Chain A
Amino acid sequence: MGKRIGIEVAIAAAEAAALCRFEVAAVYPITPQSHVAEHLSDIVNDGRVDASFITVEGEHSALSAAIGASGTGARVITATSSQGLLYMSEVMPIASGMRVPIVMIVANRAVSSPINIWNDHSDIMPMRDTGWITFFSENGQEAVDMVIQAYKVAEHRDVMLPVDVMMDGFQLTHMVEPLFMPDQEEVDRFLPPYVPYATLHPDNPVSMGTLAMPDIFAEAQKSKDAALVNSLTVIKEVWKEWEELFGRKYEPVQTYLTEDADVAMVTMGSMGETAEVAVDELRRQGIKAGLIKIKLWRPFPFEDLKKAVKGIRVVAVMDRAVSFGGPGGPVFSEIRSALYDEPARPAVVNFIIGLGGRDIQVVDFVDMMKKAAAGKLAEPYEFYGVRG
């Protein structure tokens, strides 16, 4: 069952990768991911895993090196944040297109300009269409668990896709939390050694990342999309197995008091914990509030979401990113589109909150929920708490 310890979450996430016995780490440090990078480097330096640490000159190289290493059959870890993730953006579709099972820890942070090192989700949102499986962790425990689960999903023969694990910058990365670190023996039992589909080896030549001309490119993209969509089954299986072994339950869409709810919030990442307290407070005030937490952003769990919103009158989506000049926040437009064909769909409204590390408190969630329930929100989406 592991031991309960107090540990900084960034360090715990790196320790989780060590429990997975990673063989190559190619990482470039960037705030607020740096503690992950530094600790991975320590782990390799101390000889605690049989691994190479590649000191790259930037994130573009970090992911490129990770792809190459994965092509040779190594279990690979990388990590980044914000501008670093954007610098990787050219290489991200290459990783998913080549179907290399890399795991990447993303310490979510706002993107420039203006420069801001604090948390929101504007770094990962432009990456949502790059073909990566994307987990959102809510606290340190989930960050640790998801890193280990990520390898099992990524390396599954029916999936073979890179996975990125989100953890909110500072709010999670720099917090010391009490959490269960699984034992090496438990992780070994859960996660078998990586057996690659093919490896770059001169004895058995293979070409990876090949050219596809117009007459085959669309078929290649369809096959990648199908792999991503179908990975949902494997993700659910892996999470079920995790629950049986460790007793902690993971679902693509996790609900809190939604069965009889009139209004519900949708959150991703660390907001969920504060929102839960807000739901309790609203219930005390006699408002039938509920909470829907998206844990799996790609592939998007459409059916689970539809099930979660059944009977709810108003759904308020909390976005920590802006789709500039678009239909509202990215999570909002996704959810609205997911529910469009439902005969009895709830009203879906959107608050954009917590940008660049702006504090979100219980009172804010309570206030937003009341506004949403009363239909008093600035149309069609509201930047909550913005002055002026």
Chain B
Amino acid sequence: MSDKKWPETWQEINPGCMVFRPGSSAEYHTGSWRAKRPLWDKVKCIKCGLCYIYCPEGCITEDADGFFEANLNYCKGCGICAKECWTGAIAMADEEE
């Protein structure tokens, strides 16, 4: 029963791909296939928190000053935050930019 973090080779795969460390799925960085990322304009942002409420990934967090930001390890770039932001403070920028 390997407690290795990540198998490098097929020989290291646990039988049946069993995982013996609970909670390890939090380590999947599901944002890796994102095509667009949200960018906040702090001038337009009124700190209402709608982006935080609507984010289906739960990956938006509030910073110390009350502004919001996305954890890009999990943000899939769906754009719901930008759509729901009624002051237009969030723009979706292409990943390669």
Which residues of A are interface residues toward B (Cβ below 8 A)?
97-100, 160, 197-198, 205-213, 216, 218-220, 222-223, 226-227
Contacts and interface: CB of A to CB of B under 8 A. Distances in A.
B20 interface: yes
Q: Which of B10, B11, B28 has the most A CB atoms < 10 Å from its CB? A: B10
B28 A206 contact: no
Contacts of B64: none
Nearest to B16: A99
Given A198-B1, A211-B28, A219-B7, A206 B20 contact: yes
Nearest to A225: B10
B16 A160 contact: yes
Report, nearest first, the 3 A-B pairs whose CB atoms are least far apart.
A99-B16, A219-B10, A222-B10
Given A198-B1, A213-B28, A100 B10 contact: no
B18 A160 contact: no
Given A205-B22, A206-B20, A213-B28, A197 B15 contact: yes
B10 A210 contact: no
Nearest to A219: B10
Interface in B1-15: 1, 7, 9-11, 13, 15
A206 B17 CA distance: 10
Given A219-B13, A220-B13, A223-B13, A210 B18 contact: yes
A180 to B, nearest CB: 35
A94 B24 CA distance: 21
B18 A198 contact: yes
Contacts of B11: 223
A186 to B, nearest CB: 30
Contacts of A98: 16-17
Contacts, number: 54
A206 B19 CA distance: 6
A222 B12 CA distance: 11
Given A219-B10, A226-B10, A100 B17 contact: no
Given A99-B16, A198-B18, A208-B18, A216 B7 contact: yes
Contacts of A213: 28
Nearest to B12: A219
Contacts of B20: 198, 205-206
Most B-side CB within 10 Å, residue of A100, A213, A223? A223
B15 A97 contact: no
Nearest to B9: A219
17 contacts: A99-B16, A160-B15, A197-B16, A198-B20, A205-B22, A207-B25, A208-B16, A210-B18, A210-B19, A212-B17, A219-B7, A219-B10, A219-B13, A220-B10, A220-B13, A222-B10, A226-B10
A333 B87 CA distance: 66
Contacts of A206: 18-20
Contacts of B22: 205, 207
A144 B49 CA distance: 67
B17 A97 contact: yes
Contacts of B1: 198
Contact of A207 (B7, B10, B15, B18): B18
B29 to A, nearest CB: 10
A98 B15 CA distance: 7
B15 A220 contact: no
A18 to B, nearest CB: 27
B91 to A, nearest CB: 29
B17 A220 contact: yes
B15 A210 contact: no
Contacts of B10: 218-220, 222-223, 226
